[in-house]
A and B are shown apart, each in its own frame.
Chain A
Amino acid sequence: MINNPSANPAKRLDWDELHRRLEAARVSLNREMPPDEEKRILKARAATLAKDSLDGETTEGNLEILEFLLAYERYGIEMSFVRETCPLRDLTPLPCTPPFVLGLINVRGEIVSVIDLKKFFDLPEKGLTDLNKVVIVHDDATTFGILADEIIGVGMVSGDAIQPSLPTLTGIRDEYLKGITGERTIILDGNRILTDRRLIVNDEE
């Protein structure tokens, strides 16, 4: 095969080209962006973002929600019920609890129970990973965490865009849902979830 260079000319290596490409890669790898350029890019980006948020601020009656994913469906909950979000770490399962109670987590010294809404909505299980997040909701009386597959972020929804939930839905679904936006984000009713007695396990037992 050495003595037969014409056997496969398509695979013949152009070493000069290869060297050139290597050199270019090395140069690009070692290139450092100049500080002015970096600052300029960041400023331009901040300006763009600030302009968007200022537009949403003008309308009254808008609902500020936290959007997250549950089994590829977008759900939202009103910001007023959200205390914070945190990654799902060190989950301690609780024995002798209903299946929707995943367990307990420690958030900066505070023990918070985590429930899984997918059990209520008959959504397919996706399994728990380190990437799962917990949205901690609270009101005056209770505080617990809702498992989310991914946190999308904070968003504004105008009150007009929220449509009432479908009449075909019954039971707990109908109770927990507040509406659905045009972008198919399901808005949860935080007040009802927090005040639902069925979620309070220790009272029953």
Chain B
Amino acid sequence: MIMNMRIRARLLLSFVIVLVLLVGVGGYSLNRMSHLADLTTDLYEHPFTVRKSIRDAYLDLMKMNRSLNRMVTSPDNGTISVDLQTVNESEKNFMKNMGFVKERFLGKQSEVDDVIKAYEEWKPLRDRVIALVVANQKGKAKELLTGIDAKLFATLDKEAGDILAFADNKANEFFKGAQNTARKSLILVSLVIVAAAGIVVLVAVTLTRSIIRPLDTAMGVAARVADGDLTVTVPPSRGRDEMHLLLQTFGRMVENLRRQTMEIHEGVNILAASAGEILASTTQVASSAAETASAVNETTATVEEVKQTTQLAGQKSRNVAETAQRALQVSQGGRKSVEDSVEGMNRIREQMATIAESIVSLSEQSHSIGEIIATVNDLAEQSNLLAVNASIEAAKAGEHGKGFAVVAHEVKSLADQSKQATAQVRALLNDIQKATNAAVMATEQGSKAVEAGEKQAMQAGESIRLLTESIAESANAAAQITATNQQQMIGMDQVALAMENISEASTLSVTGTKQAEISAQNLHELGQKLKRLVEHFKL
């Protein structure tokens, strides 16, 4: 039943018990104490006060006496007023104390009266002494004082001693009663306290046990968790008080912690791996940045070279433009020449035709000559026969025909020569015929060649026309190239400037990547450290 109570209720119950016990014990103690106080008051008001007042009165008396003695013995008169004042105050106090004593004294009043009477007797003597002192007769005063003191103090001592003795007895009685009462009270109070303490211890042990046991469990778990052992499980607990709730919550917390730590473990693993990769990447990036920087430097140099090359190209393209312009003029001239040559070809063809006709007519004429030669040959043949016949006739005539035979022989010889001549002419004519045929064929070929040449010239003209157009386009293109080159040169200047900036940026980037590399190194180390830290946890 207690276990099911809330701790607050439990605590409240305990404190109520303790309070009740406290009140009980306290009340009892107070009762006893008030009893003792009453006893003490009695003690104080009667024997103790009387004894004290008498002692004070005695002391006042002694004080007065000492002041008087000093007044008498002191050679100096300066202190007289002070001593006088002391005497007066002491007298007042004496009287007051004696009033107390008279009031409180439980014994015989006569004894007190005796003391006061003795004092009253001493008082006039004292006044006389003072007067003597004031009158500066110290010798007399001294004598007087010595006489009265002895008498007075003897009386006082005796009376006071009686009173004191009585008071002491009374006080002893009181003290013994009080001591008795106190002893009894002490025993009782002790018993009560012991009982209360027992109850309180019981309550405390119960309370403590009910709180400490789950707390111990929690502490054990917490200690193992603190050592990094997250495999610990919180034992299931009955009860619904705060400690058990705390235990359950603690269990949940450990569970969550384990889960989170596992996640953290995984995360740290990933982080470490990532940091390693980042480090590798950063190292690569750093080397890449260095390479990039060198590449940028090379590129800058290359850009400078390209710039110079572009300038050169610009000059070349201007030259090309001029050359193209000249080539345009030349090609136009060539076109005109080709047209002229086509005309010339035409003329040559006409002349070739004329030549062919002439040669053909020549051939025809040589044919006529051939006919004539045939006739001549025929004539020679006939002359030959005629000469033979003449020879025959001459032979028939015998000796008379001998002269005629000579003539006939001569005629035959002439005929033979004619035949030979005609044969030569015929051979010549054949040669002429062959030559004219060859000439005609050559002329024909020439004519064809001229036609082909004309065609070729026209083709050449067309080609030159196309060439002219191409050259014109080339000239335009060269002009455009020159313009473009101008722009390109400006662009190259800008590129060179940009490359300078890039070079600076890449230098910065190299230092930046170096720093990033160092940072990645640190990150990597941090990841490793985290990994080691997380590996402390047993999961």
The A/B interface has a contact count, at CB < 8 Å, of: 61
How far does the alpha carbon of A80 sit from the alpha carbon of B396 in the complex, in Å? 7
A1 touches B389 (CB 8 A): no
A23: chain B residues within 8 A (beta carbon): none
How far does the alpha carbon of A57 sit from the alpha carbon of B344 in the complex, in Å? 75
Please report the total number of B residues contacting A with Cβ < 8 Å: 27
B412: chain A residues within 8 A (beta carbon): 153
- Given known contacts A53-B405, A85-B385, A154 and B453 CB-to-CB distance under 8 angstroms: no
A24: chain B residues within 8 A (beta carbon): none
Please report the total number of A residues contacting B with Cβ < 8 Å: 24
B348 touches A2 (CB 8 A): yes
Q: Does B406 contact A (CB under 8 A)?
A: yes
A49 touches B410 (CB 8 A): yes
B interface, over-half SS: helix
How far does the alpha carbon of A52 sit from the alpha carbon of B344 in the complex, in Å? 67
Across the interface, B391 reaches (CB within 8 A) one of A50, A80, A154, namely A154
Q: Does A119 contact B (CB under 8 A)?
A: no
**Smallest Cβ-Cβ distance to B392: which chain A residue:** A82
CB of B539, distance to nearest CB on chain A (Å): 103
Q: Does B381 contact A (CB under 8 A)?
A: yes
A80: chain B residues within 8 A (beta carbon): 395
How far does the alpha carbon of A50 sit from the alpha carbon of B382 in the complex, in Å? 22
A154 touches B388 (CB 8 A): yes
Q: Does B519 contact A (CB under 8 A)?
A: no
A83 touches B392 (CB 8 A): yes
B392 touches A87 (CB 8 A): no
A2 touches B392 (CB 8 A): no
A131 touches B392 (CB 8 A): no
CB of A40, distance to nearest CB on chain B (Å): 15
Q: Does B449 contact A (CB under 8 A)?
A: yes
How far does the alpha carbon of A3 sit from the alpha carbon of B456 in the complex, in Å? 12
Q: Does B209 contact A (CB under 8 A)?
A: no
Q: Does A133 contact B (CB under 8 A)?
A: yes
- Given known contacts A1-B449, A50-B406, A57-B402, A66 and B385 CB-to-CB distance under 8 angstroms: no
How far does the alpha carbon of A45 sit from the alpha carbon of B406 in the complex, in Å? 12
How far does the alpha carbon of A197 sit from the alpha carbon of B382 in the complex, in Å? 33
A17-60 residues at the B interface, CB under 8 angstroms: 45-46, 49-50, 53, 57
B388 touches A49 (CB 8 A): no
B382: chain A residues within 8 A (beta carbon): 87
A124-171 residues at the B interface, CB under 8 angstroms: 131, 133, 151, 153-154
Closest 7 CB pairs of A and B: A154-B391, A79-B395, A84-B389, A85-B388, A50-B406, A85-B385, A46-B410
- Residues of A at under 8 Å CB distance from B? 1-3, 45-46, 49-50, 53, 57, 64, 66, 79-80, 82-87, 131, 133, 151, 153-154
Can you spell out 16 A-B residue pairs with CB atoms less than 8 angstroms apart?
Answer: A1-B449, A3-B341, A46-B406, A53-B406, A53-B409, A79-B396, A82-B392, A84-B392, A86-B389, A87-B382, A87-B385, A153-B384, A153-B391, A154-B388, A154-B391, A154-B395
